[in-house]
Amino acid sequence: MSADIKKHSNHIDESHSHPEPLTYFKVAMALIFLTALEVMVFYFEWLGYGIIPVLAFLSIGKFAIVVMYYMHLKFDSKLFTYVFLAALMLATVVILWLMALFGWFF
């Protein structure tokens, strides 16, 4: 059985579970649009502090699109999603905690 495992360990047939190239192209266009929007919003001085949630929302959107479609988490096993999300949440907590410790929020 171990020989079988070795034989198959380098081969994953995902050709049917992954999107078509056209979907990847559409995703790329969405990413370009969101980046252009980010840069545009950056020059809207009248937004004031409102720029922070807007840019954060746009960046999280881009991040999620790449992870779901280009990194295939939307189509792969949920275990991969759990492993990555757990680390991502911990990383976010570390950043927020450091910011709190150094007087960002108080």
Partner 1 sequence: MSDETTTGLNHRKLLMWVFLGSDCMFFASLIGTYLIYKGSGVPHPGPVDVFDIPTTSVSTFVLLMSSMSMVFAYAYLVRDNIKAFRIWMISTMIMGATFLGFQVFEFSEFYFHHDLSPQTNLFGTTFYALTGTHGLHVTVGVIWLGIIFYSSLFRNTVTSKTNLDLDLAALYWHFVDIVWIVIFAVVYLFGTFTGFSAS
Cβ atoms of 44 and 55 within 8 Å: the answer is: no
CB of 46 to partner 1, least distance (A): 13
Indicate the DSSP class of residue 69: I
* Residue 92 sits in the site that holds partner 1 (CB under 8 A): yes
CB of 81 to partner 1, least distance (A): 9
37, 44, 46, 103: which one contacts partner 1 (CB under 8 A)?
103
The residue with tokens 């907590």 is 93
Region of 77 (left: φ > 0; alpha: ψ -120 to 50; beta: rest) is: beta
CA dist., res. 38 & res. 41, Å (int): 5
CB of 64 to partner 1, least distance (A): 9
* Residue 37 sits in the site that holds partner 1 (CB under 8 A): no
Retrieve residue 37's tokens.
């929007």
Cβ atoms of 106 and 100 within 8 Å: the answer is: yes
The contact set with partner 1 (CB under 8 A) reads: 1, 4-5, 8-15, 18, 20-21, 24-25, 27-28, 31-32, 35, 38-39, 42, 48-49, 51-52, 55-56, 58-59, 62-63, 66-67, 69-71, 77, 79-80, 83-84, 86-88, 90-92, 94-95, 98-99, 101-106
